[in-house]
Amino acid sequence: MDYNHVMQDIGDVIDAAGVAVIVVGMLISTGGAVIELRRHETGIYRHFRQQLGRTILLGLELLVVGDIVRTVAAQPTLISVAILAIIVLIRTFLSFSLEIELTGYWPWQRKAAQPPLE
């Protein structure tokens, strides 16, 4: 087994972990929402969206890591690096969009928007 094959396998494992995080997180979020519905709690939809959004963010991060491992650890070509750059840009845009959706603030505004701890 050569180095490139090992790096490909490691990238595939990280990708599988990212997908597993998203699927398991979705199941946990849905289960929590069902329990909250049975208890007739308020804010169920908002809470569900926040949990699911955090899950997707974590899964996207793992998927980016898998792409980086496969592209950079192997012998990178100009085409493979360009494809990686496009994938990372798209996933970064999705991450920013989800962050704004979850918090209502740009990531760099979060500290200014939160009240100081006493």
Q: What is the mean pLDDT of residues 33-58?
A: 91
Q: What is the mean pLDDT of residues 87-116?
A: 76
What pLDDT is attached to residue 34?
95
CA distance 18 to 67: 11
Reported pTM? 0.75
CA distance 4 to 76: 11
Asked whether the predicted pLDDT for residue 21 surpasses 60, the reply is yes
What pLDDT is attached to residue 4?
80
Asked whether the predicted pLDDT for residue 96 surpasses 90, the reply is no
Asked whether the predicted pLDDT for residue 116 surpasses 80, the reply is no
Domain ranges of the chain: 3-113
At residue 43, the 3 state secondary structure works out as: coil
Contact call for residues 66 and 21 (beta carbons, < 8 A)? no
Instruction: Give the mean pLDDT of the chain.
Output: 85
Q: What is the mean pLDDT of residues 96-112?
A: 75
